[in-house]
Amino acid sequence: MKRTVTRLADGRELIYFDRDDDADRGAVDERPLPPRPPASELRYDPLTEEWIAVAGHRQGRTFLPPADECPLCPSAPGRLTEIPSAAYDVVVFENRFPSFSDRPVDLAPPGGLSESRPGAGRCEVVCFTSDHGSSFSTLSPDQVGLVMEAWIDRTAELSALPGVEQVFCFENRGAEIGITLAHPHGQIYAYPYVTPRTTLTLRAAERHRERTGGNLFADVLAAEREAGVRVVAANEHWTAFVPAAARWPYEIHVYPHRRVPDLTGLEAAEREAFGPLYTEVLRRLDGLFGVVMPYVAAWHQAPVRAGRDLAYTHLELFSVRRAPGKLKYLAGSESAMGAFVNDVLPEEAARLLRNVVTS
């Protein structure tokens, strides 16, 4: 793999990941870009003990442009994009409209019992392929491997930044999810705090260890593999299953069989085995109703400093589609109370996904 670091016209970092060591990445970004926006502001909610990012500059971000104006496609004569080269394999660059960054910000006093601080951190975009009409499910094993190398590279580098507490790699896919760009891509957030979901699961894992002496995530995986009824797919190194208490109509968790705190701990064989299994799972989702399934794919990794002995890196994938013409909306119970009601029995979801013909 060849790794090439360059800069965009406004100073943001861009990194090419290439299979070909001879790839020429000398193209220069010639766009007249405006100055980068200030950082977001973090405000503390004393009722939930959570930090909320306020990033007003994101209101003006690019929203569902036509394919011939996609900013994630390679640059071409008369159409300059975020990627200066005329072709690429995998590209990572700093988000032009970040939720977190290292830019200065003027803090406005929030008043009340809240407090504020700069939204320090970093947000990056990961372009999985230069093919605008492609999707992750159709990537070759080699291409998935290159994406994984980019995830691992960025997890290591972002974890080393001052003030970063957690690195989150994810993909939003589909208009129903709320994407703003249709090109196959994901994002990486380097948070200046440990996220609420991770805090909850690590607390549960700590209590489980105190009761049983075991690792909660490893024990969940072992129980699902033994039961088998909710397993969707598996190979030597990975298992994909619908969790027993799934929140979403079609929710799949993908675990490596060996516990590692984050993606950097995966061995070569584990990295290689991930792509075929994961793309099979994605094709099963797309084949379920004969329509392209919207989804969120989220890598859960250990925080940079806290709970690394408890965490177990894994991917959680879920779709908001519950039937061919119906979506799962987060209405009163879910949005106001955080109390989920699932319309699909997890065992039935797993059965339906297993029965999808993928080849």
DSSP 304: S
In whole angstroms, what is the distance from residue 269 CA to residue 350 CA? 26
Is the distance from CB of 235 to CB of 338 less than 8 angstroms?
no
> Who's near 150: CB < 8 A, 6+ residues apart?
15, 17, 90, 92, 126
On whether 73 is known to bind a ligand per the annotation, the reply is yes
3-state secondary structure string across 178-204: CCCCCCCEEEEEEECCCCHHHHHHHHH
On whether 208 is known to bind a ligand per the annotation, the reply is no
On whether 257 is known to bind a ligand per the annotation, the reply is no
Whether 185 is catalytic is yes
* Distances in whole angstroms, Cα of residue 321 to Cα of each of 42, 160, 181, 183, 263: 32, 37, 20, 20, 29
Catalytic member of 185, 237, 300, 314 = 185
On whether 183 is known to bind a ligand per the annotation, the reply is yes
The pair of structure tokens assigned to 3 is 């790794």
> Who's near 62: CB < 8 A, 6+ residues apart?
71, 97, 180, 181
Binding site membership: which residues?
Answer: 70, 73, 132, 183
Binding site membership for Zn(2+): which residues?
Answer: 70, 73, 132, 183
Annotated active-site positions, please? 185
